[in-house]
């Protein structure tokens, strides 16, 4: 990435805009990589769109691990 490309990406407000800027400079980005760039460039001072949320991998545990329950969970094969 060159300085001009980075500056244009800093102005982007969505994953789609990041992808469009990359294409402008002959680069191909996945939605996941574009979402990472959007976040790392500090462009997320707004509500994320459904497409942005779909592009970000996530997930995790729901609920609370209680003493006594966590060891059983941690011993399970994942």
Tell me the pTM: 0.55
What pLDDT does 41 receive?
83
What pLDDT does 17 receive?
93
pLDDT for 38-68, tens place per residue?
888 876 555 667 776 676 655 555 555 555 5
Question: What SS3 string covers 8-22?
Answer: HHHCCCCHHHHHHHH
Between 56 and 74, whose confidence is greater? Answer: 56
Domain boundaries, the chain: 3-58
DSSP states of 42-56:
T--SSPPPHHHHHHS
Q: What is the percentage of the chain residues whose pLDDT exceeds 70?
A: 58
Q: How much is the mean pLDDT over the chain?
A: 76
């Amino acid at each position: 990435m060159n300085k001009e490309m980075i500056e244009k990406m800093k102005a982007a407000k969505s994953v789609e805009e990041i992808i469009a800027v990359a294409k402008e400079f002959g680069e191909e980005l996945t939605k996941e990589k574009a979402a990472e760039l959007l976040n790392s460039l500090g462009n997320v001072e707004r509500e994320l769109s459904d497409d942005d949320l779909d592009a970000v991998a996530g997930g995790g545990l729901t609920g609370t691990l209680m003493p006594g329950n966590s060891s059983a969970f941690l011993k399970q094969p994942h």
